[in-house]
């Protein structure tokens, strides 16, 4: 009988120890999992990447107006305009280091690209950032309310960046929007940084619509075009097509690198979305983006998004996010772009259009017929940058 009691106690002790070991292992696994890792400060960091005239300003505002988000518009603009004689590839590391600092609410790196004694107004498009118009950066707009850029411009130009850093530290999410990240590899150290909980949202748009928008605003992107083209001399008539070709190639490389056998630290941290999908079903698509980064949709945001995507445009400023019919905007190139230009765009962006499921048009009649749906469901894709034996 005594030996039986000893065995029973031993078995109970072994079960307890085994259970404890399982709990410890599961806890260790969760901490190391790239999908579940959360830095000690609890912040979530989101990078919205896209290219010029792809609807990124609108998507940025979708995050900017969320009450849990500290948002910054195009911080990489400061790097590109400060060192314009370098090519895009040379600037990627500098952009990455700036993004890391801002994600950590450290604006000391940003100051290197700003005038001496920088003010809040030294930040690119600062007045459109709700957090910079709200306490503690500025008392104008109560937290949770939508901001008014025109009022912010007059009331919130505080000296120094201390208030910006303080504001950044009070939000659960830091979201940065950039059109000047051209590949994922330079961002790998950010994914591996234990102080960051990084998510990438990759926004793409039909390159034919991008071309129409670029032609309307070409003079505003002279510096960017030269940086993207690595300062190469290109005939003026071909510049926009070469820039678009580089942008399409960049979108393809980013998506392929993220989707097919990504490194472990990238799994679950990348999401691609098409601008047209957001245009046709904004509430559903934006709600999915919020869920991807751990934000909740509010009734106030739903109403604001509906108003922004179904209203009429108030002015002709191409850089202002204002109410308009998003579906009409997505289809405008079919009416306003010549078929000759459309053919040239399709030639330089054929791989991107195939990858992101944009249907080609082969005649002017087909282009003008709006009953033909050119946005098709995503399909499996053979990744072109891999060796043949791995496809």
Across the chain, what does the average pLDDT equal? Answer: 83
Q: Distance between CA 347 and CA 341 in Å, rounded?
A: 10
Judge whether residue 310 has pLDDT over 90: no
User: Cα separation of 8 and 159, whole Å?
Assistant: 73
Its pTM stands at 0.84
Tens digits of per-residue pLDDT, 22-60? 334 333 333 334 444 455 468 999 999 999 999 999 999
Return the DSSP state at 294: T
The reported pLDDT for the residue numbered 312 is 52
Is the Cβ–Cβ distance between 148 and 141 less than 8 Å?
Answer: yes
Tell me the pLDDT tens digit for each residue of 189-202.
Answer: 999 999 999 999 99
Averaged over 152-178, what is the pLDDT? Answer: 90
6: pLDDT strictly greater than 70 = no
Which ranges constitute the DSSP H helices of the chain? Answer: 2-32, 56-64, 76-82, 88-103, 108-111, 149-155, 162-168, 188-192, 207-217, 222-228, 239-259, 275-280, 282-293, 299-310, 326-336, 339-348, 350-355, 364-368
- For each of the domains in the chain, give its residue range(s) and CATH number, in order of start: 44-105+169-376 (3.40.50.300)
């Amino acid at each position: 009988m005594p030996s039986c009691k000893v065995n029973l106690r031993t078995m109970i002790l072994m079960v307890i120890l085994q259970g404890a070991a399982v709990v410890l292992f599961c806890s260790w696994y969760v901490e190391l999992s790239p999908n579940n890792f959360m830095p000690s400060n609890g912040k979530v960091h989101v990078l919205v990447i896209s290219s010029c005239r792809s609807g990124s300003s609108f998507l940025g505002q979708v995050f900017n107006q969320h009450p849990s988000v500290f948002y910054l518009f195009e911080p990489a603009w400061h790097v590109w305009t400060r060192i314009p004689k370098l090519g895009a590839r040379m600037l990627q590391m500098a952009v990455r280091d700036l993004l890391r600092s801002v994600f950590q609410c450290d604006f000391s790196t940003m100051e290197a690209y700003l005038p001496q004694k920088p003010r809040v107004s030294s930040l690119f498009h600062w007045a459109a950032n709700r957090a910079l118009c709200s306490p503690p950066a500025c008392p104008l707009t109560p937290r949770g309310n939508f901001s008014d850029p025109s009022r912010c411009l007059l009331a919130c130009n505080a000296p120094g960046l201390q208030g910006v850093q303080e504001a950044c530290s009070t939000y659960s999410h830091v979201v940065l929007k950039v059109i000047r990240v051209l590949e994922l590899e330079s961002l790998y150290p950010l994914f591996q940084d234990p102080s960051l909980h990084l998510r990438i949202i990759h926004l793409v748009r039909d390159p034919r619509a991008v071309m129409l928008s670029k032609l309307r605003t070409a003079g505003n992107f002279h510096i960017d075009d030269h940086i993207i083209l690595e300062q190469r001399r290109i005939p003026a008539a071909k510049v926009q097509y070469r820039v678009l070709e580089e942008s399409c190639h960049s979108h393809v490389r980013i998506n392929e690198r993220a989707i097919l056998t990504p490194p472990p630290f990238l799994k679950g941290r990348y999401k691609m979305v098409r601008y047209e999908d957001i245009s046709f079903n904004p509430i559903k698509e934006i709600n999915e983006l919020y869920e991807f980064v751990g934000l909740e949709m509010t009734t106030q945001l739903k109403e604001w998004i509906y108003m922004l995507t179904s209203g009429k445009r108030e002015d002709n400023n191409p850089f202002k996010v204002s109410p308009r019919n998003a579906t009409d905007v997505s289809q405008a190139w079919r009416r306003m772009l010549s078929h000759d230009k459309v053919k040239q765009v399709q030639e330089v962006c054929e791989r991107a259009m195939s990858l992101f499921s944009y249907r080609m048009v082969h005649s002017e009649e087909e282009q003008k017929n709006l009953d033909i749906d050119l946005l098709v469901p995503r399909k499996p894709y053979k990744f072109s940058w891999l060796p043949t034996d791995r496809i």
